[in-house]
Amino acid sequence: MKAVGVVVEYNPFHHGHAYHIENARKATGADVVIAAMSGNFLQRGEPAIVSKWTRTEMALKGGIDLVFELPYSYAVQKADTFAAGAVSLLGAAGCQFICFGSESGNIEDFYHTYHFLEKHHEPYNYEIKRFINKGYSYPKALSLAFKALEPAENVVDLSLPNNILGFQYVKAAEKSGYPVKMVTIARKSANYHDQHFSSASIASATSIRNALFSNNADITKIQSYVPVHTYEGLMQYHHNFGAFHNWNMYWPYLKLNLLQLSPYELRVIYEVEEGIENRLLSLAIKCETFPQFMEELKTKRYTWTRLQRTLTHILTHTVKNEMSALNDKVPYLRLLGMTETGRKYLNQLKKDCPIPLISKRSSFTHQQIVTDTRSARIYAMGLPEQYRQKAIELEFKQQPIYIEDDHNEQKNKAI
């Protein structure tokens, strides 16, 4: 069986994702589509609107065959670490292909860009440093440094978000040693950051989330913009757990932590660097809301997402020490869900999977999965009080989601 991998967050799953899965299958002729999916906290340093289990169910009903959890240690990271984790996960899962969406849509151009930058390694790094010293954020410095090198034709525009991620996937794949072929598909219509619905059929995840939070969670409003299984999943989650997750519900906890800790103690947290601990502490005392806190915290030096990731690490109490052993290969494959086809593939994979394959949380331990479990429980604490305990217990109680291929019979559902 041939497998193609995709790197996803599905926050939530939308028509654009379905389109991507369909095309990944077509473009590669794969029998199985495998997703490396972030858990409850995402690359932008935000809680996912619904749990990894509900998003797994959406994924399986939307065309994915196997969902593995990208560990927190890679999921809540800047693009290069995120990409290295995801690509190594899909490599370990035996994918012959990895297919990503990009603004460019031309895989040759990604390789040209990669080789161009490998060749101009030193001047590139020099320019990056120069722009960082000028006070630019890291991603902005990357983009400016790239332009400053006056790259040749046939390179991708590294100021566009999906091209940047794609470039990191290609780079990670080249360095991973896994025999995986990269494929890219041009993204259709809605842009990553679109704030509002722009067409009736393809809405960005951002615009869907905005609609959910701007209308006192009137879920019905988004019904026509998302696949039916997404709509059902959102309805079900809201019914079972009383809310969708966003940063506002964690603000009291974050504020408590910032009132509790000394600058010295705060520096133990991953990514708390360069004196930002003092700004965090003094702003926490005076800011009343999370948006106000973020506005005051923001400087040119740090991207919004970098800051949110740092705050996520404070909330989940992820310390430098537990991240010190991190390398560019994920150490296990945690199964979140599978279709019937996915299960067949899994039986084949079991024979020669290079890393442990976990389908039962209690049967395995590792520093990174301890971090995953801690962050999943803290994620649950954001819910209204009466739903918290049930959600905390999911991490050990929820079986991997299993659905038959015709999607009619579903054995293990998301709780």
Give the residue among 323, 309, 326, 313 at the shortest CA–CA distance from 261: 313
Nearer to a second copy, 217 or 381 (CB): 381
One residue of 378, 391, 403, 414 binding a second copy per CB under 8 A: 378
> Is residue 374 within 8 Å of 316, Cβ to Cβ?
yes
CB of 378 to a second copy, least distance (A): 6
For the CB of residue 208, give the shortest distance to a second copy in the complex, in Å.
Answer: 27
| Burial classification of residue 238, based on how many CB atoms lie within 10 Å of its CB (0-12 exposed, 13-18 middle, 19 or more buried) | middle
Only segment of 232-240, 253-261, 336-344, 404-412 that touches a second copy (CB under 8 A): 253-261
Contact between 261 and a second copy by CB under 8 A: the answer reads: yes
Specify the stretch interacting with a second copy by CB under 8 A; choose among 34-42, 66-74, 335-343, 370-378. Answer: 370-378
Beta carbon nearer to a second copy, 23 or 246 = 246
| Nearest distance in Å: CB 288, a second copy | 5
Q: From CA 168, how far away is CA 329, in angstroms rounded?
A: 14
- Give CA 368 to chain center in angstroms: 16
Integer Cα distance of 286 and 277 in angstroms: 15
Closest approach of Cβ 112 to a second copy, in Å?
46
Residue 374 in contact with a second copy, rule: CB under 8 A: yes
By CB under 8 A, residue 325 contacts a second copy = no
User: Residue 230 — φ and ψ, nearest 5°?
Assistant: -70, -45
Residues 330, 159, 59: CA angle, nearest 5 degrees: 45
DSSP 265-304: HHTTBTT--TTHHHHHHHHHHH--SHHHHHHHH--TTS-H
Q: Which of 111, 253, 341, 415 binds a second copy (CB under 8 A)?
A: 253
Q: Which is nearer to a second copy, 103 or 277 (CB)?
A: 277
Residue 392 touching a second copy (CB under 8 A): yes
Residues from 112 through 171 that contact a second copy (CB under 8 A): none
Sequential DSSP letters for 189-235: SS-TT--S--SSS---HHHHHHHHHHTTT-GGGGGGGS-HHHHHHHH
| Alpha-carbon gap, residue 192 to 325, rounded angstroms | 32
Position 369 contacts a second copy (CB under 8 A): no
Nearest to a second copy of 299, 389 (CB atom): 389
**Binders of a second copy among 262-301, rule CB under 8 A?**
285, 288
Interface with a second copy by CB under 8 A: which residues? Answer: 252-253, 255-257, 259-261, 285, 288, 316-317, 374, 377-378, 381, 385, 388-389, 392
